Amino acid sequence: MAEPLRVGNCSGFYGDRHAAMREMLDGGPLDVLTGDYLAELTMLILGRDLLKDERLGYARSFVRQVEECLGTALERGVRIVSNAGGLNPAGLAERLREVAHGLGLDPVVAHVEGDDLRGLGFPGALTANAYLGGYGIAAALRAGADVVVTGRVTDASLVVGPAAAHHGWTPEQHDQLAGAVVAGHVLECGAQACGGNYSGFRELDRSRPLGFPVAEVAGDGSSVITKHEGTGGAVTVGTVTAQLLYEIQSTRYLGPDVTVDLRSIGLADAGPDRVAVTGVRGEPPPQQLKVCVNELGGHRNSVELVLTGLDVEEKAAWVRDQLTAALDPPPAEVVWSPVAPARPDADSEEMASVLLRCTVKDPAPEPVGRAFTAAVVELALASYPGFTMTAPPASPTPFGVYRPEYVDRVTVSHTVVHHDGRREEVPDPSVTDGPAEDHTGTRPSPYPHPADTLTRRVPLGTFVHARSGDKGGDANLGLWVAADDHPRREERVEWLCKFVTPERVRELVPEACDLDVEVFLLPNLGAVNVVLHGLLGDGVAASTRFDPQAKGLGEWVRSRMVHIEEALL
């Protein structure tokens, strides 16, 4: 059996730490270095870039990173795999060859395409990209590629492809592939696996920049998650659990190569900054592929008003009435944020102030352009006392609307374009099963409800961690009990699994009172996963919510006061 494959990550999104590629190459041994640059919002951004210049459509920051680091990667035999190709992987591959030639280098560069479906039944779509699996990447690596760039593969495919190539896995080895998907899911968001956005951040080494993760993927699909020695943050069962619960749906994690049974994952401390991931089970992948579709939804604008001191609610009501009357014709959508009372007898003016935000949206730019900003400015001397804004009014910006679609696999030509121009089509898996979307309903708790016990009213986050994020218009909320040596940890897990129900979630998140809420139990991780359908409207680019990507949702829920059994505290 081959030695474990050492796969590192140097990017979790378009705009992540530029120096990370250099840090990962210099920080310790690697076989493969991956970079994830894509998200639904990123595809929209790249789509707009492509409208301006057909040569663009890829993550340009990746080119600069490779220019600085390619020589080191080739010298050390580290292969680079990234989805930075976005909407134009062929253009990125050609640009990398130009950069390499300018450096006097001659790497083997391949790219993966076939995900772009704009011409296949998605009229009016700015972008329409199927989520491809890892076997195109594997084919490129087996043919000797030093650098592989792709369009819209799944984030985890950046690890699945190299692992499948290294270990020689067939598409029918579902358990091994599922293990690689889990490793890829942990790595995909960069420093998050090392303590970024972690609710237990106080236990981390924060004296240095957080490290980026490394997965040592074995031939049986198990892995060890770690990081380079001397980097900040930590890799613990807690940080890995946090990332595993990020942006998942039910207890089954569906991908183009395999469906992962999330209930099967075992995590264990394997030494300082080392977490073993074992026992992962896989099932055949779904029969269809998911497609990320972005459309131009119109134009939007917003203004943020400052309300200070006394009579905040009356001030807000007056300016709302004034601006509403002044918008003629009104934009298609006008959304005002709620207002909380200012702190009484505050020691600073800022502490005595609250913000009132007005967001407007319309298919046309004019109603949300000067017609809106002028109406706001004209109230400056004719409205509530202390009228001011946090920033001058801005010009309107276009926004996109995201929606998921699903297509039969035969619709998609998953293709590798090798360095010499040879094209290789990647066959579909021989065994598939079930739909591409998994909403199997709220799972009832297997734990019996206890008799009445003495409780104390405390924040939910007293011993519950959280991680939240967006999946299109849905919000994902993972809650779990820390895997520590507390003598009543298992009882705490039982309490959490009984406590978190759709009705309870609607109480904790009043915005979700009319929404479909699903709760899925993951007791092996000491966790529950919650999906709040529609909380984010049409997705991050179109959402008018205060936190459009639900990044802070988990921390808000942790701060909510709940009744917890006295014995568990």
Give domain limits for the chain.
5-292+405-425, 296-401, 455-568
Which amino acid is located at 26 in the chain?
D
Contact between 129 and 155 (Cβ < 8 Å):
no
Contact between 149 and 97 (Cβ < 8 Å):
no
Q: How far is 15 from 341, CA to CA, in rounded Å? A: 36
HEC profile of 479-525: EEECCCCCCCHHHHHHHHHHHCCHHHHHHHCHHHCCCCEEEEEEHHH
pLDDT at 97: 98
| Closest C-alpha among 30, 186, 524 to residue 196 | 186
Q: Is 180 exposed, middle or buried (0-12, 13-18, 19+ CB in 10 A)?
A: buried
pLDDT at 486: 77
Q: How far is 526 from 388, CA to CA, in rounded Å? A: 48
- Beta carbons within 8 Å of 503's beta carbon, 6+ residues apart: none
pLDDT at 121: 80
CA of residue 340 relative to chain centroid, distance:
30
According to CATH, the topology of domain 296-401 is Alpha-Beta Plaits (3.30.70)
Written as tens digits, the pLDDT of the chain (569 aa) is: 799 999 999 999 999 999 999 999 999 999 999 999 999 889 999 998 998 999 999 999 999 999 999 999 999 999 999 999 999 999 999 999 999 999 999 999 999 999 999 988 888 899 999 999 999 999 999 999 999 999 999 999 999 999 999 999 999 999 999 999 999 999 999 999 999 999 999 989 999 999 999 999 999 999 999 999 999 999 999 999 999 999 998 999 999 999 999 999 999 999 999 999 999 999 999 999 999 999 999 999 999 999 999 999 999 999 999 999 999 899 999 999 999 899 999 999 999 999 999 999 999 999 999 999 999 999 999 999 999 999 999 999 999 999 999 999 999 999 999 999 999 999 999 888 877 776 555 555 565 555 456 789 999 999 999 999 998 999 999 999 987 777 889 999 999 999 999 999 999 999 999 999 999 999 999 999 999 999 999 888 888 898 999 999 999 999 999 999 998 98
Q: How far is 162 from 257, CA to CA, in rounded Å? A: 13
**What per-residue string of b and e applies to 157-172 under the rule 16 or more CB within 10 Å gives b?**
bbbbbbbbbbbebebe
Instruction: Give me the residues paired with residue 400 across strands.
Output: 296
pLDDT at 74: 98
